Amino acid sequence: MSQTVTALLRLRELILSGELEPGQRLSELSVVDRLNVSRTSVRAALARLQEEGLLEALPYGGFAVKAFTEREVHDAIELRGVLEGLAARFAAERGGDPARLAEMKRCLQEVDELTLSEELTGEDFTRYVEINQRFHAALLELADSPPLTRQLARVVALPFASPSGFVMAQAAQPQARTILVVAQEQHRALVEAIENHEGARAEAIMREHARLARRNLQLAAENHEALGLIHGGALIERRAAV
């Protein structure tokens, strides 16, 4: 990998892991010393992370690690729901590649097999994350819209705005299996809507589906252990206890 990519990946991980805390100031020179890469590479990495929303530029120079309110995360999830809803409508109206629809059906079957067990383990939810990513990727390919793909990639750049952003936090909740079953039924209904070329229905299902992430965020915000399971969860400001 190039030094720029190396700097980007390492710096992003330091932020998402919580090793670099919200509000912490970063200068080019301090990052160069920490990562032992060129200043040009660091400058490019810092600019990219600002674009992703993980850093904010300071008026007197340098950057600071950004913190996110629950409202900001809600807004990002809502925006993702709008774009994925549009992808679902495109997929239903345009027909698309049968192989991609077959992949979505395979994902449904694999999740059905996971939910046969009454007690789901952390390994089961890790497996679900992989299946869920394949399902959403297949949907986007079915939509066949490069402009939409680009815009959605920007929205899901933050881990807690992605389709699987709160799945591992969900695993720590008593309602974990119930929420997973609801998500699975929404996926099943989506596939049916796409097969029947019901664009409006497919769009509505995906917009509602995204809101499960908001539910998981609300549950995680009340549980410090669950919040710690979210990659990037350290960046989310917790509500003050009442």
In this prediction, residues 80-88 reach a mean pLDDT of: 95
Question: Which CATH number does 3-65 carry?
Answer: 1.10.10.10
At 208-236, the pLDDT tens digits run 998 888 777 776 666 666 666 666 777 88
**Fold of the 70-235 domain:** Four Helix Bundle (Hemerythrin (Met), subunit A) (1.20.120)
At 144-182, the pLDDT tens digits run 999 999 999 888 876 677 777 666 555 556 667 788 888
- Helix (H) / strand (E) element for 26: namely strand 25-26
In this prediction, residues 82-106 reach a mean pLDDT of: 93
Residue position matching structure tokens 């809502």 = 78
Residue ranges of the chain that CATH labels 1.10.10.10: 3-65
Tokens of 83: 């774009």
pLDDT bin (cut points 50, 70, 90) of residue 242 is very low
List Cβ neighbours of 63 (8 Å cut-off, separation of 6 or more): 25, 26, 27, 46, 49, 50, 55, 56, 57
Residue position matching structure tokens 């495109």 = 90
The answer to whether the pTM exceeds 0.85 is no
Cα–Cα distance for residue pair 220/6, rounded to 1 Å: 31
11 burial class (0-12, 13-18, 19+ CB within 10 angstroms)? buried
At 101-156, the pLDDT tens digits run 999 999 999 999 988 877 777 788 888 889 999 999 999 999 999 999 999 988 88
First-to-final CA distance of the chain: 48
Residue ranges of the chain that CATH labels 1.20.120.530: 70-235
